[in-house]
Copies of this chain bind each other. A is one copy, B any other.
Amino acid sequence: MDECRTLLSTHGVGRVAVSPSGGRPAVVPVNYDVVDDAIVFRTSPGSVTAAAAGTEVAFEVDHVDDAPSQGWNVLAVGPAIPVTDPEVTGRLTRDAHTEPWAGGERMMWVSIRPTSLTGRRITAADQ
């Protein structure tokens, strides 16, 4: 668990998987940061990740070397919560190290506080 937290904090691009009720599943790459044990990222109010706010989402970070097959991945699952408190969003905008990957107007902060955090390391010995 501690190692998963450490690995999470080493990487700036993760993938959020959303599965809206009645909608189609999607995976979106985001620039993220970890603030107070929560994964935070910015999105546009009209995006699929914004629409997922309030639902349980999966967030994945990995480092994969194609050959030889080595790497690690960490999977966090938890509710996606829109961050609306102006004091908190102001602090996030100031303190988070991440810029929104796709640029543009991404004015909505979303926070994922994992209720499950798992990971695995892959080494050549696994083959």
- Please tell me which one of the listed residues B15, B24, B102 contacts residue A122 in the complex, with CB atoms under 8 A apart: B102
A6 at the B interface (CB under 8 A): no
Closest to A100 in B: B69
Taking a contact as CB atoms under 8 Å apart, the answer to whether A60 and B29 are in contact is: yes
Chain B residues within an 8 Å CB radius of A19: 17, 19, 25, 58
**Range, interface on chain A:** 35 or more
- Please tell me which one of the listed residues B25, B28, B56, B69 contacts residue A103 in the complex, with CB atoms under 8 A apart: B69
Chain B residues within an 8 Å CB radius of A17: 15, 17, 19, 25-27, 58
28 A-B pairs within 8 Å (CB atoms) are namely: A13-B66, A15-B62, A17-B17, A17-B19, A17-B26, A17-B58, A19-B19, A24-B56, A24-B58, A24-B77, A24-B116, A25-B56, A25-B58, A25-B77, A26-B75, A26-B77, A27-B60, A27-B75, A28-B60, A29-B62, A29-B64, A29-B71, A29-B73, A31-B66, A64-B101, A69-B102, A102-B122, A103-B127
